[in-house]
Copies of this chain bind each other. A is one copy, B any other.
Amino acid sequence: MSLSEFALIERYFRKVGAMRTDVELGVGDDAALLQSPPGAQLVAAIDTLNEGVHFPPGSPPASIGHRVLAVNLSDLAAMGARPSWALLALTLPKVDERWLEEFTGGLSALARSHDVALVGGDTTSGPLSVTIQILGHVAKSTALLRSGGRPGDKVFVSGTPGDAAGGLAIEQSKLQASSEAERYLRKRFLYPSPRLALGDCLRGYATACIDVSDGLMGDAGKLAHASGCGLELVFDDVPVSEELVSAVGVERARELALTGGDDYELCFTVRPSEVGRLQHNLPPGRWGYCCIGTLREAPGSIVTRGGSVIEFSHSGYDHFGA
């Protein structure tokens, strides 16, 4: 890439995201200068998406821009934090203005909708890869950790996991469904909605929280492990969308919900004594979450059905074959 190409890209970067008064200096100097709110803790996460690994070659550029921010926002949602600023490291095989326009459009729309400013970036030559570093804030000692669960805590999940795995399969031509279901499932893969509002509200209710990115069963298991607990999930309580059921049937839909990736929903735990207060103040129907199991004393993860443990592998890879 030539210097003028880098300058072109920097021009795109300057237009991305929200304007925030706590950004004293954004894109264009050696580093950004930022003002954290007094008393708040800084919350920081980083995530990369690589072409051919995290999205199929030829994916819509707007979706790549949206997703790379969404996966980072989802990390902040899982901490109960509010996002403020993002930095972008973009590796491109070549400069394609139309691609850049669409990519920054997707990134910018999601950034603005959550009041996130893009404050820095680095563009390099190489195979397509996008990394976002997200920065946000949470009031001191209120962040949701993975480690706060206790045996007996009820386990919840937001949304309808599995949809993104179905959408990816459609993108890869490994699954067909009605045009309406395909539209819905593809959108769930290409444009996930990070659950920032829910995460923000869960502080004060949830004992532990994790974002579901690598499959519900595996991620819930990570939460249980970090909390020094085991996990019991109830197969028939796992929520699935009508669209996914219409495409693969209810059994397979629940399997995908437990093992598929890229959902960016929240999995969280609540003390049994607090479940009533949670459901009163955050009605499950309005907030879109439901109870799927319990943390146990005994280590390891089990799935039950009709009171019996069923065989279930949580390997979530390549559900639809090669």
Contacts and interface: CB of A to CB of B under 8 A. Distances in A.
A143 B48 contact: no
A311 interface: no
A89 B48 contact: yes
A25 B41 CA distance: 11
A166 interface: no
Given A44-B119, A46-B121, A126-B127, A133 B30 contact: no
Contacts of A125: 50, 53
A127 B127 contact: yes
Interface residues of A, number: 64
Interface in A79-104: 79, 81, 85, 87-89, 91
Nearest to A134: B31
B38 A33 contact: no
A36 interface: yes
A120 interface: yes
Given A48-B89, A91-B50, A218-B3, A33 B43 contact: yes
State the copy count for this chain.
2
A145 interface: yes
Contacts of A30: 45, 74-76, 78-79, 146, 209-211
A43 B42 CA distance: 12
B42 A34 contact: yes
A219 to B, nearest CB: 10
A41 B33 contact: yes
A129 interface: yes
Given A3-B218, A124-B48, A29 B145 contact: yes
Contact of A42 (B35, B121, B209, B214): B35
A83 to B, nearest CB: 10
A33 B144 CA distance: 10
A81 B52 CA distance: 38
A47 interface: yes
- Which of A24, A35, A48 has the most B CB atoms < 10 Å from its CB? A48
Interface string A100-143: 00000000000000000001111011110101011110101001
A131 to B, nearest CB: 4
